[in-house]
């Protein structure tokens, strides 16, 4: 990687210090010409126009070279990430194909899209069933063993052996999950939601939608849940759905090296991203039984342009997914046709008297929201520090596995100590509630230890207990200690090299302190009937989750759907709103923190405020490497091979420009690196046109077959003779790329770029001469920080 | 209107015949230069670039002139409709203002937006309450009178007098509502949903968001519901919400001539349209108790670019609206705090055993969907013919009032005859069901006439009865006759000059035949337990409504929310999907039919299929009237006054172009008619710059104060001296208008136009010279018809 050295001036050389805010450009004259602004630009020349393709040789040298000196920092922007091409290249081949498709052809395509969405729904539902059933079976075995051992030890003494058994069982399960993630496929770590957010935003995250990732993710989440970690199996479902969607829609798997030769038309970023949205929605839908929430999640995270038919299809996939899950699970549980539990987690039916709320409770709910926001911010801050620590010191896979095992053992130990310490204060008679593992411990006969039940259960069931158990079931001290310990355990767990979701732990923490809050309210209130602890547990759960992840509309709908009751809509919305306001005041959402720490060029919904003073001319990268319509093969190969620039898109300019515009050619098209690679591979040279009359003409199919992993330029052999040939780019370039004048403001450029999902936007002067190019990184670089626009640095992290 | 005569060649001269498909342009060479295509274009020159502003003098001569020869036809495109300016004109003034706004200023603006949304929610909820309460009161009085009269007449004879009383009461109420609509504000006719669809699509529909329209709408819907017409009060709520939103967000009313001097920043199309989306969502939410459905309705109909914060605000407005309605109605009904009936209509709780469905019922549901689609298509076809008839023969207001009264009287007569004819067959004992007006008629004592209850009730209550009454409540013959009569009555009613919604009648028709279908199923099935008639009534209602209006995602969510049960999500979705597929095969949705009959330039979600062969050059209007940066006032006034062209946007071109490009100036900006008018009004002339040094500089406020009804050019006096002055447009034009090359394909132009909500898109040649302009009409003109792309004609209807 020759370019690493050159870019040192742009990368953060000092690991310890974060760079100060660099805003020289903002002080430059807004109308300055390129010549005038050269002073500020000179260092950037080596990195310009670099919509880089390191992923092409990701498995090779480049990443390993860089990974030694990890420079994660939220003030950097990584050059590692490519953009997706959401804009069709409307070249001759494309137009010919579109014209060839008959009316029936369009219908067939449409039907195929529906079939793919149906399959996405079915497979996502099945995966969710698989996870659910296996987790249940394994957890049953584990808890049964431990219970028997504890029961025996309570009588005979030797509880420390039970502790060791519990801790080592946990650590064992976690180890398997962690080894899979750390050694086989690191992309499967965590919930995958940040990665899916990035993908839907238009960033190509490598390995994120591969079959191998799916397998590791599914097995990983099973082992981490069974391992007793403070994790949920819901978040990973979203990632799983997305991988399933990408796999099915492409009709082939590169992990299995199998091409089913179906759905070939969908082999481009535009179509694939649409299906991935559907997959993510189906995942949400299966996880929470929330098909509408799933659709809104996809839209909130991914949609740039709302399309009625697409949304309708996404909804269909979601519906099918929750139906499949419900149907299969109902058969598994022995009551086929009972379609009343549509998700992996259901919050259960709230009693109708508990559902009611009074208008004067609304300010109280908003207080709960505020507490959730602040606690969420504390959680995020702690996790941020922990992540920084991990990035610096725990980046070797074996260290990651050891940390995960440690967390597993500690979780078991904390649980055990709490059960042991609280045994006397929290015994309850075994009532009608069907409790699977009533631990007697030191309680009298016919009683069980309540806190043991909370720990001795999957977190999903604990959440439901906190919502629905009758007032008085929980001792406030127990709840307080539980909240505290689970808060820190969950915070420590998120970011481990295991496959895990943050939704359920957040809900559990929130439900615990929400219930505590409810108990407190009913104690101080003269009429305790209105302060149902279950209701406040729900509000607390919403507040805590909202305070951590900061989702808005989709989270409201997900919680309302999981509750199965529309009446709570307004309170939940107000709680989430307050939590978001309070949380945003302190620190960003957890997913955004992790996205920023990965230095992903993520584009928000709106251009940053106060960016109106910046123009395209100040933002763009230049000088631009252009090609002519008829270009020498040698030059193309040289430019593509130049690792110092590594451009991905090249404006094509007209040769017949007038003398006064000698330096800038007039824009007449745009061609991508991937297209040039295919052209070179097929030797589409003007000089060979006659000799290859017998050869078939290059078709769009040839480009699709190479998608998405186009070969690197180094793998294409071009002989010395061929270097003197010419390539005619006219038929292959996009003849009408979007362009804006250099005077356009940053918000204007941003909106165009975001609304159309562009990858390259050419900046032209008054007579259509190419003066620069704007890519995702040029826009993502600007950010509002403490009321000032700041400019991020770019680095090859 | 001098241009009416010139445009005859483009308007449909023959009222009776629809013009054949005109596709000369499609045969033209795709790369033909303007000169080559002149043959096909020559006639269009008089209408080009006409994003017309007839609404400016709408209240004057022009409309009355044209209304004599109404040429509604779905193969025409009206030139009457303006586009909204969703794209900010980023001129110097705008940029200065944006730069002036501090960080706190942005926050204040954001808070103001939330306040406006909250107010929208509250007022929409209150309006819904008002309608509900007044309708209930008046309907009580009416039915009580008739019931007493019938009870008396049954004993004493003289039922014909009861019939006359009923019919004349109906006709009387309908008359008041119809007079209001026909004479005071015709824009309040119908449900208003087509108009709101158009508005959200970006078309300026005159009078649609005025206070007067709201008042007439609210009063009109009260009288038409009380008048016993086959209408609902739900559709008009959407329109009402939109008007409230437009009114509140602008902080002034032109009907009342009152300016509250608040929310001045929001006085532009971009902001106003966002708030109108929120209003429409709040309306749906209040009508059906469906806040999520409301948001999705707004998005489905209006959104071009999904924005997280905007959607979140829309959701907030919806939530507040349904909460207000629920809260006020709970107080009115004497049980304050009972927040369980959040909408004007609630489908009520389905019994838990009825909620279940089996997987083998899914094909049956799809059959219901198919029937709904076909019946919906029949409904739409009949209504289409009726509307054509009305356009031709019933366009005088007094005729419209008479027709409405006739329908009112006929509705009463049909109801009466059916009650009378079926008295023997359909008597039921008065049970636990609380029936408000149990008509005994000829039933024995202690019994009541079932069909009388169906007619003797607001349609909302009848729908709920059909969903929830126990199996066996209804006689199949009664149901069949009811379906048939109500189908034709509802079809006749839609399109009358009254304020009315189609949702409830559709639901009622569907519920009736759905229940019939359910009864049929349980008769033929060996195990009748699964075929609950109430369940099939719900499916039938969904199918019929879907078959008529063809909404997708939003309708599913609305019905699910109104049912309050998520379990039915998948069946309802499948039913709506099947209904849409079958319906679309026959004829378009009812709203689309009415939009097309109004010849509105409505842009769909996607460019028409098979339009890839068209390029911008073939689609655009030309020649374009351009201005120079420094332009003579006389020329500006002349061009603005030219009623033959009536352009609304003018590219500004550079004066210093090279000799070879003499004919086409280089694009350097775009200025709107409205901006020029304000400039002329304030006499912003270069020559007066020195003399007016003491005068304050023109600000954005001056443009906002004139918004949205800019004065016509005729009202601005320009002296002969002033005609020789010069205007410098540089500071006021949009310096970076979007432009595309002439070679861009129609789909590409369409996507750019639609995604960014543009009004004018400049088409340039290779060196940025202006060669044409594309407006909404140029894109809306192309439509797929029977597998072929057809081009609509444009006319000044």
pLDDT of residue B766: 83
Does B292 contact chain A (CB < 8 Å)?
yes
> Contact, B339 vs B323, CB < 8 A?
yes
Q: Do A569 and B291 touch (CB under 8 A)?
A: yes
All residues of chain B having their beta carbon less than 8 Å from the beta carbon of residue A98 are 612
Q: Quick one: how far is CA A410 from the chain centroid?
A: 28
- A659-692, pLDDT tens digit by residue? 454 556 888 899 998 889 988 888 888 877 766 5
Q: Which of residues 523-552 of A touch B (CB under 8 A)?
A: 552
A253 SS3 class: strand
Check residue A651 and report its DSSP letter: E
- A6-24, pLDDT tens digit by residue? 333 333 333 333 333 333 3
Chain B's closest residue to A342, CA to CA, is: B567
All residues of chain B having their beta carbon less than 8 Å from the beta carbon of residue A308 are 300, 552-553, 605
Q: Do B569 and A90 touch (CB under 8 A)?
A: no
The pLDDT of A204-229, averaged and rounded, is 91
Chain B's closest residue to A335, CA to CA, is: B358
pLDDT of residue B656: 61
A64 SS3 class: helix
* Residues A66, A4: Cα–Cα separation, whole Å: 8
pLDDT < 70 positions in chain B: 1-74, 303-306, 337, 340, 351-355, 423-426, 430-444, 450-451, 453-454, 528-529, 655-664, 690-696, 796-797
All residues of chain A having their beta carbon less than 8 Å from the beta carbon of residue B566 are 289, 342, 561, 564
Token pair 């016919």 is at which residue? A446
Q: Which residues pair with A427 in a beta bridge?
A: A449
B555 SS3 class: helix
* Residues B547, B551: Cα–Cα separation, whole Å: 9
* Residues A550, A301: Cα–Cα separation, whole Å: 12
Number of H helices, E strands in chain A: 31, 18
Tell me the nearest-neighbour CA distance from B4 into chain A, angstroms.
37
Residue A760 tokens, joined: 């390259």
Q: Quick one: how far is CA A699 from the chain centroid?
A: 34
Helix axes A533-549, A590-597, angle to 10 degrees: 20
Strand extents, DSSP E, B387-436 = 427-429
Q: Which of these ranges, A324-328, A391-395, B430-434, has the smallest mean pLDDT? A: B430-434
Q: Where are the alpha helices (DSSP H) in B180-268?
A: 193-201, 211-226, 235-250
Give first-to-last CA distance, chain A, whole Å.
Answer: 12
H or E, element range at B727: strand B726-728
Does A764 contact chain B (CB < 8 Å)?
yes
The pLDDT of A569-594, averaged and rounded, is 91
Residue A74 banded pLDDT, cuts 50, 70, 90: low
* Residues B600, B205: Cα–Cα separation, whole Å: 9
What φ, ψ does residue B287 adopt, rounded to 5°? -70, -45
Residue A527 banded pLDDT, cuts 50, 70, 90: confident
Give first-to-last CA distance, chain B, whole Å.
Answer: 12
Which one of B117, B200, B304, B308 makes the best mutation probe of the A interface by having the most chain A beta carbons within 10 Å?
B308
* Residues B560, A560: Cα–Cα separation, whole Å: 13
* Residues A19, A13: Cα–Cα separation, whole Å: 9
Which one of A102, A347, A530, A569 makes the best mutation probe of the B interface by having the most chain B beta carbons within 10 Å?
A569
* Residues B363, A301: Cα–Cα separation, whole Å: 34
Does B606 contact chain A (CB < 8 Å)?
yes
Does B763 contact chain A (CB < 8 Å)?
no
Closest CA relative to residue A80, chosen from A46, A44, A53, A47:
A53
Strand extents, DSSP E, A460-526 = none
- B78-108, pLDDT tens digit by residue? 878 888 888 888 888 888 888 888 888 888 9
Does A295 contact chain B (CB < 8 Å)?
yes
Check residue A364 and report its DSSP letter: H
Residues 6+ apart with CB under 8 A from A515: A466, A474, A479, A533, A534, A536, A537, A540
Closest CA relative to residue B368, chosen from B149, B572, B108:
B572
Size of interface A-B (CB pairs under 8 A): 194
pLDDT of residue B62: 35
- A691-717, pLDDT tens digit by residue? 655 456 777 888 888 887 788 888 888
All residues of chain B having their beta carbon less than 8 Å from the beta carbon of residue A768 are 764, 766-768
Q: Are strands B82-83 and B203-204 parallel, antiparallel or unpaired?
A: antiparallel
pLDDT of residue A650: 92
H or E, element range at B777: helix B776-780
* Residues B382, B388: Cα–Cα separation, whole Å: 10
All residues of chain B having their beta carbon less than 8 Å from the beta carbon of residue A320 are 570
Does A282 contact chain B (CB < 8 Å)?
no
Chain B's closest residue to A318, CA to CA, is: B570
> Contact, B616 vs B705, CB < 8 A?
no
Chain B's closest residue to A289, CA to CA, is: B566
> Contact, B242 vs B207, CB < 8 A?
no
All residues of chain B having their beta carbon less than 8 Å from the beta carbon of residue A613 are 95, 99
3-state helix, strand, coil in chain B (%, to 5): 60, 10, 30
Q: Are strands A203-204 and B630-632 parallel, antiparallel or unpaired?
A: unpaired
Residue A198 tokens, joined: 């990035």
Q: Do B311 and A300 touch (CB under 8 A)?
A: yes
DSSP states along A559-579: HHHHHT-GGGHHHHHHHHHHH
Q: How many CB atoms lie within 10 A of CB B301?
A: 22
Q: Are strands B627-628 and B76-78 parallel, antiparallel or unpaired?
A: unpaired
All residues of chain B having their beta carbon less than 8 Å from the beta carbon of residue A666 are 766-767
Does B311 contact chain A (CB < 8 Å)?
yes
Of chain A, the percentage scoring pLDDT greater than 90 comes to 32
* Residues A443, A455: Cα–Cα separation, whole Å: 16
Among B289, B315, B570, beta carbon nearest to A573: B315
pLDDT of residue B612: 83
* Residues B516, B521: Cα–Cα separation, whole Å: 9
Check residue B46 and report its DSSP letter: G
Among B304, B766, B787, beta carbon nearest to A654: B766
Closest CA relative to residue A249, chosen from A86, A126, A93, A121:
A121
In this prediction the pTM is 0.87
Closest CA relative to residue A126, chosen from A14, A210, A224, A244:
A244
Tell me the nearest-neighbour CA distance from B755 into chain A, angstroms.
6
Q: Do B767 and A764 touch (CB under 8 A)?
A: no
Among A98, A613, A755, beta carbon nearest to B99: A613
Does B556 contact chain A (CB < 8 Å)?
yes
pLDDT of residue A405: 94
Among B106, B311, B570, beta carbon nearest to A319: B570
All residues of chain B having their beta carbon less than 8 Å from the beta carbon of residue A740 are 736, 738
Q: Name, of A509-518, A782-791, B34-43, B355-364, the range with top average pLDDT.
A: A509-518
What φ, ψ does residue B767 adopt, rounded to 5°? -115, 35
User: Does the pLDDT at position A52 exceed 50?
Assistant: no
Tell me the nearest-neighbour CA distance from A784 into chain B, angstroms.
10
The pLDDT of A464-475, averaged and rounded, is 80
All residues of chain A having their beta carbon less than 8 Å from the beta carbon of residue B292 are 292, 296, 557, 560, 569
B469 SS3 class: coil
Across B179-206, b (16+ Cβ under 10 Å) vs e yields bbbbebbebbbbbbbbbbbbbbbbbbbb
Residue A374 tokens, joined: 């602040």
- A535-561, pLDDT tens digit by residue? 899 999 999 999 999 988 889 999 988
Helix axes B291-302, A291-301, angle to 10 degrees: 40
Q: Which of residues 725-744 of A touch B (CB under 8 A)?
A: 735-736, 738, 740-741, 743-744
User: Does the pLDDT at position A797 exceed 80?
Assistant: no
* Residues A180, A176: Cα–Cα separation, whole Å: 6
Q: Which residues pair with B253 in a beta bridge?
A: B258
- A264-316, pLDDT tens digit by residue? 888 888 888 889 999 999 999 999 988 999 999 988 877 666 678 888 899 99
* Residues A414, A481: Cα–Cα separation, whole Å: 11
The pLDDT of A569-579, averaged and rounded, is 91
Residues 6+ apart with CB under 8 A from B303: A306, B277
Token pair 């199918």 is at which residue? B543
Token pair 């007022």 is at which residue? B123
Does B270 contact chain A (CB < 8 Å)?
no
3-state helix, strand, coil in chain A (%, to 5): 60, 10, 30
Q: Quick one: how far is CA A173 from the chain centroid?
A: 25
Q: Quick one: how far is CA A441 from the chain centroid?
A: 43
């Amino acid at each position: 990687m020759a370019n690493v050295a050159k870019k040192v001036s742009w990368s953060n050389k000092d690991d310890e210090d974060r760079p100060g805010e660099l805003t020289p450009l903002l002080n430059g004259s807004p109308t300055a010409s390129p010549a005038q602004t050269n002073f500020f630009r000179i260092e950037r020349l080596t990195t310009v126009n670099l919509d880089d393709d390191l992923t092409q040789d990701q498995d090779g040298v480049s990443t390993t070279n860089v990974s030694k000196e990890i420079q994660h920092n939220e003030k950097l922007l990584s050059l590692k990430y490519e953009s997706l091409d959401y804009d069709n290249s409307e070249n001759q081949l494309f137009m010919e194909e579109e014209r060839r498709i008959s009316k029936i052809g369009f219908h067939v395509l449409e039907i195929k899209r529906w079939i793919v969405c149906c399959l996405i729904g079915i497979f996502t539902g099945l995966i969710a069933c698989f996870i659910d059933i296996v987790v249940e079976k394994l957890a049953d075995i584990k808890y049964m063993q431990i219970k028997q051992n504890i029961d025996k030890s309570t009588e005979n003494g030797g509880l420390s052996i039970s502790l060791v058994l519990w801790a080592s069982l946990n650590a064992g399960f976690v180890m398997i999950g962690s080894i899979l993630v750390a050694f086989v496929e690191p992309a499967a770590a965590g919930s995958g939601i940040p990665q899916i957010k990035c993908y839907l935003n238009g960033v190509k995250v490598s390995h994120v939608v591969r079959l191998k990732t799916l397998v590791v993710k599914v097995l990983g989440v099973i082992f981490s849940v069974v391992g007793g970690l403070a994790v949920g199996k819901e978040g990973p479902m979203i990632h799983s759905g997305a991988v399933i969607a990408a796999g099915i829609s492409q009709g082939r798997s590169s992990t299995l090296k199998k091409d089913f030769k179906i759905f070939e038309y969908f082999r481009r970023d535009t179509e694939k991203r649409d299906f991935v949205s559907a997959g993510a929605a189906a995942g949400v839908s299966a996880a929470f039984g929330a098909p509408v929430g799933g659709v809104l999640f996809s839209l909130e995270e991914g949609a740039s342009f709302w399309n009625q038919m697409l949304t309708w299809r996404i909804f269909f996939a979601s519906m099918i997914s929750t139906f499949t899950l419900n149907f299969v699970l109902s058969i598994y549980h022995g009551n086929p046709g009972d379609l009343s539990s549509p998700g992996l987690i259901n919050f259960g039916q709230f009693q109708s008297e508990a559902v009611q709320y009074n208008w004067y409770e609304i300010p109280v709910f908003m207080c709960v929201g505020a507490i959730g926001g602040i606690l969420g911010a504390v959680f995020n801050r702690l996790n941020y520090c922990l992540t920084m620590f991990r990035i610096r010191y725990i980046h070797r896979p074996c260290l990651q596995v050891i940390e995960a095992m440690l967390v597993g053992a500690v979780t078991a130990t904390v649980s055990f100590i709490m059960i042991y310490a609280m045994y006397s204060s929290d015994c309850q008679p075994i009532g009608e509630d069907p409790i699977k593992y009533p631990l007697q411990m030191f309680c009298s006969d016919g009683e069980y230890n309540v806190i043991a039940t909370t720990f001795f259960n999957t977190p999903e069931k604990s959440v439901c207990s906190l919502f629905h158990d009758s007032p008085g079931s929980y001792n406030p001290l127990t709840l307080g200690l539980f909240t505290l310990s689970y808060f820190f355990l969950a915070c420590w767990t998120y970011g481990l090299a295991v496959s895990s979701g943050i939704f359920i732990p957040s809900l559990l923490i929130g439900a615990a302190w929400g219930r505590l809050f409810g108990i407190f309210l009913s104690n101080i209130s003269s009429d305790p009937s209105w302060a149902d602890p279950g209701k406040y547990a729900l509000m607390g759960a919403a507040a805590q989750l909202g305070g951590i992840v900061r989702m808005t509309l989709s989270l409201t709908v997900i919680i309302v759907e999981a509750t199965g009751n529309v009446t709570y809509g307004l309170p939940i919305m107000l709680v989430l709103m307050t939590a978001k306001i309070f949380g945003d005041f302190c620190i960003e959402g957890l997913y955004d923190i992790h996205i920023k720490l990965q230095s992903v060029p993520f584009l928000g919904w709106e251009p940053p405020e106060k960016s109106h003073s910046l123009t395209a001319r100040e933002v763009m990268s230049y000088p631009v490497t252009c090609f002519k319509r008829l270009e020498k093969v040698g030059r193309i190969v040289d430019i593509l091979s130049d690792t110092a620039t590594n451009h991905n898109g090249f404006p094509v300019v007209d040769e017949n420009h007038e003398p006064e515009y000698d330096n800038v050619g007039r824009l007449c098209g745009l061609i991508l690196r991937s297209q040039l690679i295919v052209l070179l591979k097929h030797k589409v040279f003007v000089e060979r046109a006659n000799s290859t009359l017998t050869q078939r003409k290059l078709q769009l199919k040839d480009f699709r077959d190479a998608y998405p992993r186009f070969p690197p330029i180094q793998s294409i052999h071009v002989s010395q003779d061929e270097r003197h040939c010419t390539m005619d780019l006219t038929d292959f370039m996009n003849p009408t790329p979007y362009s804006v004048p250099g005077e356009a403001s940053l918000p204007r450029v941003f909106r165009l770029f975001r609304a159309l999902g562009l990858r390259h936007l050419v900046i032209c002067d008054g007579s259509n001469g190419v003066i620069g190019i704007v890519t995702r990184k040029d826009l993502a670089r600007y950010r509002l920080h403490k009321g000032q626009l700041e400019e991020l640095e770019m680095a090859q992290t």
